[in-house]
Structure 1
Amino acid sequence: MDSLKPYYIRSIHQWAVDNGHTPHVLVDANKPGVNVPDDYVKDGEIVLNVHPQAVASLDLGNEWLMFLARFAGRSYQVEVPVYAVRAVFARENGQGMTFPEVAADLSEVPIRPPRPDMTHSLLRKGPVLRVVK
């Protein structure tokens, strides 16, 4: 039977977006398989803004949360196994859900699905304007 956790993550994410809030996830950055920028990890945790306007190629799957984002102007492909998500909530009011900590069995770490590196094609620095005479 599938875990309810990815379904809770998706539903709270959608609820936050539908109500004009900014969905965030709290991630245990020390869990195996977590790929986040180390410079932003504090006390083994990182809070990630997962609003559709803040990220590209957002995939809230049953085993992985994956998206492209910019940190200090640099593109980064973020990959988080669902078991590493500690909470999902709206930034504006803190409403959401926390999850109990579960010890990861390394033999059960989900295999990261193949995904092309899209950081250059999807995250541009901004629009390019040219003078037309």
Structure 2
Amino acid sequence: MSSDTPAMTSNRPYLIRAMYEWIGDNDMTPYLLVDASHPQLHCPPQAVQDGRIVLNIAARAVAQLELGNEMISFKARFGGVSQDVFVPLAAVQAIYAQETGQGMMLPEEDASLEAGRAAPAGAPRSGVDDGDDDDDGGGPARRGGHLRVVK
């Protein structure tokens, strides 16, 4: 890519929306696997297990679902209490059908695409605090995934 070629935006929101639609069209239940350590994630801390949270985003399970370009937001019931959930797209690790496990793992978001992004209006600054503010500092940042053939 030459320096005159404009950088493309992240394909992440488009992939998530396409997978959500495909899973729904097949009468299956779409689930998100989310990295709970993301600083802009807002979800009930009691739902986090092993640094991750699995969220059912089927239309029958949530209200006011918005699959935006930077954030997924919705209302869901946790322990019988309706709560707002905000999931930054960079925190989404996978979207899959609960019944079959078919779906898509997503590569880590390229840091250059996420740099300088502010939280969308209305999103809380932070929702889950695991108390780990240490930077692992272990070498260069990953550039993202590569395609591989799966048989």
Q: So what's the TM-score if we normalise by structure 2?
A: 0.71
Question: How many aligned residue pairs are there?
Answer: 115
* Corresponding position of 1:83: 90
- Give the Cα separation in 1 of the matches to 2:23 and 2:52: 22
Letter in 2 for 1:82: L
* Corresponding position of 1:113: 121
- Give the Cα separation in 2 of the matches to 1:7 and 1:107: 19
Cα deviation for residue 102 of structure 1 reads: 3.8
User: SS in structure 2 opposite 1:83?
Assistant: helix
* Corresponding position of 1:63: 70
Asked if 2 retains the 8 angstrom alpha-carbon contact of 1:32 and 1:109, the reply is no
Asked if 2 retains the 8 angstrom alpha-carbon contact of 1:31 and 1:104, the reply is no
Q: So what's the TM-score if we normalise by structure 1?
A: 0.80
* Corresponding position of 2:60: 53
- Give the Cα separation in 2 of the matches to 1:104 and 1:49: 27
Gaps of 5+ in 2: 1-7, 124-151
Q: How does 1:1-133 map to 2 (within 5 A)?
A: 1-102=8-109, 108-114=116-122
User: SS in structure 1 opposite 2:84?
Assistant: strand
Measured on the aligned residues, the alpha-carbon RMSD in Å equals: 1.8
Question: Aligned residues: percent identity?
Answer: 46
Runs of at least 4 residues off by over 6 Å? none
